[in-house]
């Protein structure tokens, strides 16, 4: 595994994408920065992080037989890797909020952005960006419901050790993916899915508020919500939010 350490960069995902276009990258190449100035989240949202306090890195992974219609399992694998790493740190009440935010109780502690390159009907490779709040204690006021490992546990974490722990977990979960352990990944993901089986208030993209129960994940990765009339409706990213 090759780890590229950067003092500052706009986006580690963008850095690895440019590198992959201009050279042959070793599998599991990692780019990590002390200061990410233009971090990106889902649907072009921003990921804001304080320099030298957190983990902001991206990892390049090659695939030989993973099909596009199986990409939800990649999301399950990466999310579970972060979840398992934090579980070992005894972070209380952690869960995965669809599609791949990591929560500590009701506060976001980690964001994940997966960007894939396709060839035919297969995923050729993926670049996964991970932003984990580690030792940061003060966040901008406009960032609501966020937390960090230090806020949860009360002490500083060693960033290098934490990175190594997470990379080991990612490799373990990718191995499950490559061994076609799809049911195991899906069941493990659903077992720790935020608010699953709990009546919850949602808001759709028309700003309509409704009550539903998270039922599962569809074959194309959409969130399935059981409505009050027992029907199941599917929502894509940014089509529904929690209240």
Peptide bond into 99 cis (omega under 30): yes
Contact 223, 235 (CB under 8 A): yes
How far apart are the C-alpha atoms of 73 and 188, rounded to whole Å?
A: 11
The proportion of the chain whose per-residue pLDDT surpasses 70, expressed as a percent, equals 96
How open is the CA angle 108-112-114, to the nearest 5 degrees?
Answer: 160
The pTM assigned to this predicted structure is 0.94
* pLDDT tens-digit series, residues 53-95: 999 999 999 999 999 999 999 999 999 999 999 999 999 999 9
* pLDDT tens-digit series, residues 162-194: 999 999 999 999 999 999 999 999 999 999 999
Helix, strand or coil, per DSSP, at residue 147: coil
Task: Identify the architecture of domain 3-191 in CATH.
Answer: 2-Layer Sandwich (3.30)
**b/e sequence 20-57, b meaning 16+ C-beta within 10 Å:** beeeebeebbbbbbebbeebbeeeeeebbbbeebbbbb
Q: Outline which parts of the chain fall under CATH 2.30.30.100.
A: 200-242
Residue 43 above 70 pLDDT? no
Quote the crossing angle between the two packed helices 159-178 and 182-191, to the nearest 10°.
130
Answer left, alpha or beta for residue 221, where phi above 0 means left and psi between -120 and 50 means alpha.
left
Q: Outline which parts of the chain fall under CATH 3.30.930.10.
A: 3-191
Contacts of 158 (CB under 8 A, 6+ apart): none
How far apart are the C-alpha atoms of 133 and 148, rounded to whole Å?
A: 5
In this prediction, residue 45 carries a pLDDT of 54
Q: Which fold has domain 200-242?
A: SH3 type barrels. (2.30.30)
């Amino acid at each position: 595994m090759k780890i590229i350490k950067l003092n500052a960069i706009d986006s580690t995902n963008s850095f690895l994408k440019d590198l992959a276009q201009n050279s042959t990258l070793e599998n599991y190449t990692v780019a990590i920065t002390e200061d990410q100035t233009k971090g990106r989240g889902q649907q072009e949202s921003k990921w804001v992080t304080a320099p030298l306090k957190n983990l902001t890195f991206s990892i390049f992974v090659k695939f030989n037989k993973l099909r596009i219609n199986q990409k939800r399992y990649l999301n399950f694998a990466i999310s579970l890797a972060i979840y398992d790493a934090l579980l070992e740190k005894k972070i209380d009440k952690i869960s995965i909020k669809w599609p791949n935010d990591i929560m500590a109780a009701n506060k976001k502690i980690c964001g994940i952005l997966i960007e894939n390159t396709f060839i035919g009907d297969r995923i050729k490779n993926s670049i996964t960006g991970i932003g984990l709040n580690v030792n940061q204690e003060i966040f901008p006021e406009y960032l609501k419901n966020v937390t960090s490992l230090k806020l949860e546990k009360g002490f500083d974490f060693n960033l290098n050790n934490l990175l190594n722990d997470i990379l080991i977990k990612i490799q373990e979960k990718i191995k499950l993916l490559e061994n076609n352990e799809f049911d195991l990944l899906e069941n493990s993901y659903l077992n720790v899915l935020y608010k699953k089986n709990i009546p919850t208030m949602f808001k759709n993209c028309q700003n309509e508020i409704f009550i539903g129960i998270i039922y599962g994940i569809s074959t194309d990765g959409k969130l399935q919500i059981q409505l009050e009339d027992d029907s199941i409706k599917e929502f894509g990213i940014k089509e529904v939010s929690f209240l």
